[in-house]
């Protein structure tokens, strides 16, 4: 049901949709519906006008909202269980080779994740990086965690200490344990703007980046990576939390 409470339902006399109300699956920038016992995904606007259709037997759509930006959206290839990016025709433009794929941000970069084996541990670890709309790797998958790029053109990345924890239970495999995360900030070319040494990067605004040393101490950077202010809770009466705009 869209925000204006107009329903896509064949029980609604004001709607042009031939589908039942319980077949409506999702509302985003466009409304879409799916035929019963088929793999055809139908796209409708708020007026019930049929816009497009997609065969989901070839790929599983993850996010439809991105079609309005660069024509690509992340999807899973059902033949290998990996994620790539498809166009409006349902064709893979970027090969499905990632273990996770996220929507492209406004700057044309998308966060992707690849799993890799860690030494002799049973489970795999996640590594994050960024690609462009051509599928080119702009930032390799080397980070243990990452955000998508903020509108200001910067992303938070982190790495941690990894170790194998040996299990004493014969039914439980050895596993990887992570600790001591260290966060920094990169630009759209993958350059490290702020060194990975902070407990957390709390916020990136249009002008400033707020980096937490600990609960009482923060460094505020400008977007060039220069510290412009050091915040100490001892300087403020009743200091609880720091935020930048």
How is 14-66 classified by DSSP, letter by letter?
Answer: T----S-GGGEEEESSSEEEE-TTS-EEEEE-TT--EEEEEETTTEEES-SGG
pLDDT band for position 88 (50/70/90)?
confident
pLDDT band for position 197 (50/70/90)?
very high
pLDDT band for position 137 (50/70/90)?
very high
Nearest CA to 165 out of 133, 131, 128, 118 is that of: 118
Average pLDDT, stretch 57-67? 55
Evaluate the CA torsion angle 135, 138, 143, 149 in order and state its sign.
negative
Give the pairing type, strands 145-146 and 155-165. Answer: antiparallel
Nearest CA to 128 out of 144, 152, 116 is that of: 144
> CA 17, CA 118: separation in Å to the nearest integer?
51
Write down the pLDDT at residue 64.
53
Write down the pLDDT at residue 91.
86
Nearest CA to 155 out of 96, 115, 196, 126 is that of: 196
In sequence order, what are the residues at sequence separation of 6 or more whose Cβ sits closer than 8 angstroms to the Cβ of residue 242?
202, 210, 218, 220, 231
Average pLDDT, stretch 60-76? 67
Stretch among 115-119, 151-155, 204-208 having the lowest mean pLDDT: 115-119
Do 66 and 109 touch, CB atoms closer than 8 A?
no
Nearest CA to 28 out of 41, 45, 16 is that of: 45
Give the residue carrying structure tokens 């909202």: 65
Mean pLDDT over each residue of the chain, to the nearest integer: 75
Which DSSP string do the residues of 181-223 spell out, in sequence order? EEEEEE-TT--EEEEEEESEEEEE-SSEEEEEEETTEEEEEET
């Amino acid at each position: 049901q869209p925000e204006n409470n107009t329903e896509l339902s064949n029980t609604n006399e004001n709607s042009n949709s031939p589908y039942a109300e319980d077949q409506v699956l999702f509302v985003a920038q466009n409304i879409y519906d799916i035929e019963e016992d088929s793999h055809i995904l139908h796209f409708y606007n708020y007026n019930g006008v049929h816009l497009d259709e997609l065969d989901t037997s070839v790929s599983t759509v993850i996010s439809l909202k991105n079609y309005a930006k660069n024509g690509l959206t992340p999807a899973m290839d059902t033949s290998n269980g990996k994620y790539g990016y498809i166009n409006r025709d349902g064709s893979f433009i970027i090969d499905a080779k990632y273990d996770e794929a996220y929507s492209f941000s406004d700057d044309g970069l998308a966060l992707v994740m690849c799993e890799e084996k860690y030494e002799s541990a049973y489970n795999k670890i996640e590594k994050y990086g960024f690609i462009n709309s051509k599928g080119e790797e702009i930032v390799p998958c080397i980070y243990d965690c990452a955000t998508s790029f903020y509108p200001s053109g910067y992303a938070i990345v982190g790495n941690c200490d990894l170790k194998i924890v040996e299990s004493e239970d014969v039914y439980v495999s050895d596993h990887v344990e992570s600790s001591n995360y260290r966060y920094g900030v990169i630009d759209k070319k993958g350059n490290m703007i702020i060194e990975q040494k902070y407990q957390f990067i709390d916020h990136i605004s249009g002008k400033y980046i707020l980096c937490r040393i600990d609960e009482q101490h923060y460094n505020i950077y400008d977007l060039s990576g220069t510290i412009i202010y050091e915040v100490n809770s001892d300087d403020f009466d009743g200091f609880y939390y720091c935020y930048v705009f």
